[in-house]
Structures are given as structure tokens and as C-alpha cells.
Structure 1
């Protein structure tokens, strides 16, 4: 299993993350993007309008390595890990660029292109009361 139960549960409740790519000349680019998570395959899909014409798509054609972070503030509620602190999951991996593919959301607005992230490393923090420390591991 790529993700722990706590990581899967967290990712299923989130809709926005930040994807970091690197351009051909080495310049970093970070974009906030919507995403879907498939707990069965452990992959992350994202789309957009005219996705193949974006800088992000071109960056990934040149260098398919990516870092994707989903995070928020831990609710200040009893039973939460580190209430009032941050929590999240960083996913490092390799992307698969799919064309003529059903978009993961907004099919009337998004183009038929998808960026699919296949995780190779997962780092998470403050998600699991049984393991409140930072959890980092290679997954493939």
C-alpha cells in the first residue's frame, strides 16, 4: 500500500494542492491545482482547461519528476494531532501525461488531458495520533 490509512483518509477529504515542476532552464514553477485521489491505485490526477498548452505540461514533458503538497491547518479540536498546527502530505513522484482522457473533474470546462502522479516518496505530518511525528518513506 502506497499510503497509510491516515494519509488516504486525509487525501480523500482534500481538493486543492500545490504542484512543483522544473522548466527546461531549471526555473521552478509552483501552481495551486485541484486534484482527485484514487485510493486503489495510489495515484493523483489533475486537469485543467487547455492543459497541454500550459507551462506546467511543457515542464513535465521535459522533466517528469514532480513534487505535490496537500496541506492545511489542523483543526483545534479534541483528538486531533497537534491542534492549531499544520498537517499534510508531500508526494514526490513521476508523472504520466495522458491525452484524450476523461478529465478528473469539470468535464465541460477542462480539456481531455490529465496529469497523473505516480508516487515514489511520501512524507506526511500530524495526520495520525498513533504516529504524530513526520513519516517519510520511499514507496516504489
Structure 2
């Protein structure tokens, strides 16, 4: 089994189902999109889906430039970081691949999927106060 995420990161990601995907738009500027995602720990990838995904701007952006970043974050119910900070999260930077799956990730979604292959992971206040980053 390929282990991309630490145990704390994997637990954090599995407890959430909404993130923000940043892609690079036609003029070279970043564009952010809320997305549903699923972690495939065995493959070391993250699948992102949606209704009529192939018709979306994020899909077309990835066709032109596959570099992306997915941020999953929230405010903890109690202080988790320095100075009583409640913010915590994971950013996954990598390369996206456009794939078509046999069945939609959930009913109402298309069979088109954005598959994120992580290259760098940045965390803050997930497994301990503070943050860190590493290449994978």
C-alpha cells in the first residue's frame, strides 16, 4: 500500500468531504473552485468529482495546464495552534489527470473525474500545533 499521507493527515481528510481546487486559468491567473473529493490511499491519489464535470472551467483549465492545488481546511472546535488558533488544514499540490470512471463517485455526478497526484503536502495544526511541508 502506498502511504502518501501521515496517519493524522489521512484521518483529517477522511473526516471532510469539501475542499477548494485551484487551477490555472487561461490568462495564467489562479481560479478557485469548491469541490467534493475522495482519498484513495491505496493509489496515493485524490479523486475530485462533480455534475457535468467535463463542461466546467476547472476541467478545461486542467486540459491546458495540469498543475493544481487542493486545500481542505476548517476551524477546530477548540484551540489547536499557537496563540489559540483554531484554523487547521491540508494543502495538496500536484498534477491532475482527467479520467473517466466506470461509475460516478456519487449519484448525480458525471463519470468524469479529476485525479490529483500529490507532489507536495502542506499542513497546519493538523497533528500538532504549527505546520510543515514535504515533497512526496
Structure 2 equivalent of residue 16 of structure 1: 18
Structure 1 equivalent of residue 116 of structure 2: 117
With normalisation by structure 2, the TM-score equals 0.89
Structure 1 equivalent of residue 65 of structure 2: 63
Structure 1 equivalent of residue 130 of structure 2: 133
Contact 1:87–1:126 at 8 Å: present in 2 too? yes
Q: What CA distance in whole angstroms lies between the structure 2 residues aligned with 1:58 and 1:24? A: 9
Q: What CA distance in whole angstroms lies between the structure 2 residues aligned with 1:75 and 1:32? A: 22
Q: State the 1:4 CA deviation.
A: 0.7
Q: What CA distance in whole angstroms lies between the structure 2 residues aligned with 1:105 and 1:84? A: 34
Contact 2:105–2:111 at 8 Å: present in 1 too? no
With normalisation by structure 1, the TM-score equals 0.87
Deviations 1:54-73 (A, max 9, x none): 11100000000000000000
- For structure 2, the residue ranges without an aligned partner over 5 or more in a row are none
- For structure 1, the residue ranges without an aligned partner over 5 or more in a row are none
Q: CA RMSD in A?
A: 1.5
Corresponding pairs, count: 132
Q: What CA distance in whole angstroms lies between the structure 1 residues aligned with 2:60 and 2:41? A: 27
Structure 1 equivalent of residue 94 of structure 2: 93
